[in-house]
Structure 1
């Protein structure tokens, strides 16, 4: 307690603060004397929020609110942030938007869909379609159940915004989902506008917090065009590309019955290294 370092954690698409990679990292951080606070994106905690507002890849308002709330409560505490997948995209975009305004000693972003359009297209092809079907099913259920929740609260105007999206059954791709749901709810011109404005790659040059970006070459959610060139990185961004790791996997060790999660070593190692400079 007191000034013990605190790490903000952001989960990925359809995840939560209870996701295995979040809880595993929390335990690893705790063993190194680092506290953590895991943010649930809107509607991801198991309880639906009371508005039509959802979460999306470029929504940085909630992480900014959490950070400023924690900073006001603990003005002297060393703080860092870690984001996975879409949570990593949100984190990098926020870091770039804020520039030198943040009091963070370090950040880490893992398996980040830095170019949203490329990642959405990748999920429409080959083996990646397996992941697309499952994720889209969860996202469509999320919208339907949120509408029911709002109707049960008597929030007819909010529920109507979701009802106007129409039947979700004919949505077969992320391009369609993001165009019909996200772009309309957030007043983007269309899905292309949403992807362009929300992709975090364009914000890397503006980041001033020491940030480790970990990507796997075999990530089924991405293609090689997602990986930024070195000239796109600010002096504060350090890119690590592993040959294997999949999407938020990075399983090590030789015993499949007792897998070792490399991220649970690498992330605390990086944070403690940067903490030495504080």
Structure 2
């Protein structure tokens, strides 16, 4: 049998917890995947997986074999990439994860630019706001906001995006002026559904003010917040990556721009391997350079 193919199939079965999920990923059938794993078990002379109609889990021998097989496959991938060296052309499939709003608003366009430059690369962009384990879900790279990062990935902080209060010109004209942070309490405050009511702002002299700001509307999506600002629904805290283009066009305005909340930290993540495929390396470098050219993103040294 093709032992490497069998090892790859088995490793993904353990990571995904389902033979049908492996079949979908490999674009084949579940019986084919099952036969591949069975052939590997026959070659090794041990049972690697415990199967039932609803559950799939490695046996004790399977757990031990998985750890070594995963390392062997990574070493093999590194050896192939190293042997190809500078003559390699970036090819193959890249699976990329990102939060929904930044993916739709900013990353989607960059991915299209990248594909135009590298015609032999395919990209599957998975937009999801939940925590994503890159290894378990077979992701080659991820764009993440914030410092809550997975332990089994390498994280490169590539940009910062300042956060401050924002509102539309129409809203500001129709409501009492906001001259101090405390004035925000007299306004309809828009916030993310999962965010705390407590807002911490730091002034130009290092002074910190905490507000218990609340309003009648909360939403769990950044694009919804952006639209709400545009229609004059209220004032709220927003990162520059979400609204800087609207600030530049005059549709929105920073409110008390000298008072800021903690910035969004922007990270590029990839699985913790010593050697990355060329397609992953060129994609990560492309994002690192191009993201800083978009509105609302700043170099970590200049934000």
TM range (shorter): under 0.3
Considering fraction of residues, name the structure with more strand: 2
TM-score normalised by L of structure 2: 0.23
Considering fraction of residues, name the structure with more helix: 1
TM-score normalised by L of structure 1: 0.25
Q: Which has the greater radius of gyration?
A: 2
